[in-house]
A and B are shown apart, each in its own frame.
Chain A
């Protein structure tokens, strides 16, 4: 026992001494939190504030028409601060519409990712628990979904089932479940072999309890990383379908929907389309940066 060094007797950290200066501290901080990640986190925080308080932040109602103030350019292109991002063809304030769109797009993407995660984890666990035929059936479903571009599946479903906001959100929830199912099946099979799962099973825990109370928390970090990769894809998918006029329908607005309608004014008023387009690119970029960073930090095996 004496071979184990007493942690309290280790040489005290020199951080308080003169060797490590504040400069080194700053360097260590930026190594753990790269500037790109900090910017990305700040942007996402801003988006979350917008999602929570959109009606309070927006300077105007996003549906309010002002026909005397149509197609006013944004600040920097000849406009003034009454409409920082200009107005559209009906005199609606672009900034207010952008705020509302960020809210709608983020909420849809969040709910859809949640659906995909629930579906994926449940099916993955089912496959891990039953093995045999159930597993084969689930694996076949996973392959079938992966074989078609999801955009096409979504278009077909919209053609056959019609469109409503609820249906659209659920439909997007079918994007990416197969990846999460595959990962959670693999992780759950590996976890079953570990002592803690066998221990709670021998204590008489139900499968439900084993999987959701014991295995799920242990594999959560990997699942969260793969959800963070799913999220920007759902945003792109939602905005793509809405851009085509097949997703979020007016009077409601979303980022893709704004780009789609702004396209008609690309010659006379490109800002209507550029503002939401920039928001899409920055948001997906920010989430990817954070996702990569999380992956490197928490789960080097996914690299």
Chain B
């Protein structure tokens, strides 16, 4: 188990280094920040001073090493627009984003898993068809359309909920529901097909043939085995929640990291963009690591197999 853990951690670190390097390469490909920030009309001395201030006049490999050194020390540069450290600018938005993504994630699981399991156990009934028809939505309705349609119904027509802002808890409802429903549709679909796959296995037939109550077959044999592919898709959901937050926060004027990313991209505030990318990269790596560890927890075969080869 320890070796399994270490190999996963090592892989996570390599991915992080790759993300940081990619950020550096793209940063350097993006043209001269001095011109971007100061404009093409500035005097040459201003460019030189700017380059010296940001260390842009050193050789590229020095910049690369310094870049890693700075990141290791948590120094990610200042927001080129408002002068505070980029980490500070992004950090104050994080709680707002967590405040809508965590409930949305919970909603994904609370709706998606039971709906998928129910649909699989009642295959080809009207309930199954209705759930599957609903889940098509998760793949074909983009979050900005879902968000705007919900806003149109509940904020504009019915006037039950506010359409934007973050003053009260009722402002969070529409963003959470938008992300929650779409993710739930995706999870329901994958859970259903994972369940159907397992239900067709010989050991399920054996379990019920040896006289187990159907409920025990489901709880003891089907669910644990269906959990493995479902975990993979839950890992993917973290990524799509992050991407969804970018859109949903923009629709509902929710002051989180996603909306900050959009404005930082539009203003080309590269330090802020970079902090957000690294943060999302770390989150994704962490999520994948968590999924990998959860595999070992759900599937004892994985644990022992690694032990034997180790």
Contact = CB atoms under 8 A, between A and B. Distances in A.
Given A143-B15, A156-B26, A266-B156, A149 B136 contact: no
B119 interface: no
A151 B246 contact: yes
Contacts of B239: 148-149
Contact of A155 (B23, B29, B261): B261
Interface string A250-266: 00000010011001001
B136 A285 contact: yes
B246 A148 contact: no
B306 to A, nearest CB: 19
B15 A259 contact: no
At the interface, is chain B mostly helix, strand, loop or mixed?
helix
16 contacts: A147-B281, A149-B239, A149-B242, A156-B273, A159-B264, A160-B30, A162-B30, A162-B268, A239-B142, A259-B144, A267-B156, A270-B156, A274-B152, A281-B142, A284-B139, A284-B142
Nearest to A303: B193
The 5 closest A-B pairs by CB, nearest first: A160-B30, A151-B243, A159-B265, A149-B239, A149-B243
B285 interface: yes
Given A147-B288, A148-B284, A243-B247, A277 B145 contact: yes
A264 B31 CA distance: 34
Nearest to A285: B140
Nearest to A284: B140
Contacts of A112: none
B270 interface: yes
Given A155-B246, A285-B136, A270 B273 contact: no
B142 A246 contact: no
Interface string B208-221: 00000000000000
Nearest to B247: A240
Given A155-B261, A159-B264, A246-B266, A232 B140 contact: yes
Contact of B266 (A149, A245, A263, A267): A245
A288 interface: yes
A144 interface: yes
A245 B250 CA distance: 11
B140 A288 contact: yes
Interface in A146-165: 147-152, 155-162
Nearest to B241: A149
Contacts of B31: 161-162
B19 A144 contact: yes
B161 to A, nearest CB: 14
Contacts of B264: 159
B151 interface: yes
Nearest to B30: A160
Contacts of B26: 156-157, 160-161
Nearest to A235: B142
Interface string B199-214: 0000000000000000
A152 B156 contact: no
A280 interface: yes
Contact of A277 (B149, B268, B273): B149
Most B CB atoms within 10 A — which of A147, A158, A243? A147
Contact of A243 (B23, B144, B156, B268): B144
B265 A147 contact: no
A150 to B, nearest CB: 8
A302 interface: no
Interface string B272-287: 0100010011001100
A240 B242 CA distance: 14
A274 to B, nearest CB: 8
B122 interface: no
B142 A266 contact: no
A157 B260 CA distance: 16
A38 interface: no
A237 to B, nearest CB: 9
Nearest to B139: A288
A151 B142 CA distance: 13
Nearest to A232: B140
A236 to B, nearest CB: 5
A36 B189 CA distance: 19
A163 B26 CA distance: 14
A150 B242 CA distance: 11
Nearest to B23: A156
Given A143-B15, A152-B280, A263 B273 contact: no
B251 interface: yes
A158 B273 CA distance: 10
B195 to A, nearest CB: 15
B262 interface: yes
Interface string B151-182: 11000100000010000000000000000000
